Structure 1
């Protein structure tokens, strides 16, 4: 890994930590530079603006989701896209929690256009789900999984961690059952 790649990763980690621990108002280039031990100029060598930093943070989060989705595809023989989508969301939540997803809230506050890559990824998921059998039920499962995640992201979920895990498992079971229905 190159020095520039390592520096960018360190900057993204520091920016994410600030956004999660202290909120969107504290996500400034000065605060990020201080947290990762760089001068503001050193930080701006990698990210010319707060918007560029947020865009990279959002794309980094999407990349992680895609990587984990691909990993889960190798572990499971899911016949429908929805099963992999729900598995990935649950897996990501178990590994890193909702911290990385809070970047979406910061980006939405800063500039909704920063979410265009997230919207494109969601549209791609929707199109894949809609192109497969059982798309109506799969869409409802996707919306249920998203709703569960959104409640947790906002910190308003009425379910504790154990209950959310059980619901996530049930959604996966329901998606797998849809796959079984394909063979009947």
Structure 2
């Protein structure tokens, strides 16, 4: 029985799903336009109509994934008490949610995107804007950014396989990051520790 035809407006999403599926199964080496076309049940020309190159496909995958990440962080940030800890707490909460998800895809995605730095341009802007806003309201300059990058570092090093913390050890780490974030907001860090009188 023949596969049902994909509607034209759904094709970009189907192509991106196929590319992600390939990367999950066999890594970035298998990511070719021909392989994606076969996986999506489309012709090579059908894929190239929407994505002119492998690089364009990787960029679109990154944009889609990072859009999900940005929306998740923004939603969690809106749930926090406004102030300097809102962004760090949102990132920590997001990291808790995604830490153990999608074993194969993030590593391959990160490596594929590293070949194409433009793929992260949108996330770079998002992060830069958030950090600039954080800098304006921090009472202890640099702590919020340190928490943000500590959390991102935790996720990236896990994605690259440098560690795989689980259970109580991981919970203690996330709890510790949250405590520092809350201390900054609640004024528990004395001003002299921040280098301000």
Residue 86 of structure 1: aligned partner: 92
Q: Matched residue pairs, number?
A: 182
CA pair 126-73 structure 1, distance change in 2 beyond 3 A: closer
Alignment partners' CA distance in 1, 2:94 and 2:52: 32
Query: How far, CA to CA, are the matches of 1:113 and 1:159 in structure 2?
Result: 31
State the Cα RMSD in Å.
2.8
Find 2:162's aligned residue among 151, 156, 170: 156
- TM-score w.r.t. the length of structure 1 is 0.82
Which residue in the other structure is 1:181 paired with? 187
Distance of aligned partners of 1:120 and 1:128 in 2 relative to their CA distance in 1, 3 Å threshold:
same
**Larger % of helix: which?**
1
Which runs of no fewer than 5 residues in structure 1 stay unpaired? Answer: none
* More displaced stretch, 165-174 vs 21-30: 165-174
Using the TM superposition, give the Cα deviation of residue 82 of structure 1 relative to its aligned residue in structure 2, in angstroms: 1.9
Q: Name the CA distance, whole Å, in 1 between partners of 2:24 and 2:167.
A: 19
What residue is the counterpart of 1:52 in the other structure? 56
Instruction: Sort the Cα spacing of 1:26 and 1:97 in 2 relative to 1 into closer, same or farther, 3 A.
Output: closer
The C-alpha deviation readout for 1:59-86, integer Å capped at 9, x for no partner, is 1111101211232234433533222232
> Is the aligned partner of 1:131 residue 2:136?
yes
1:37 equivalent among 35, 38, 41:
41
Give the TM-score of the pair, scaled to structure 2.
0.77
Alignment partner, residue 119 of structure 1: 124
- Name stretches of at least 5 consecutive residues in structure 2 with no aligned partner: 1-5, 191-197
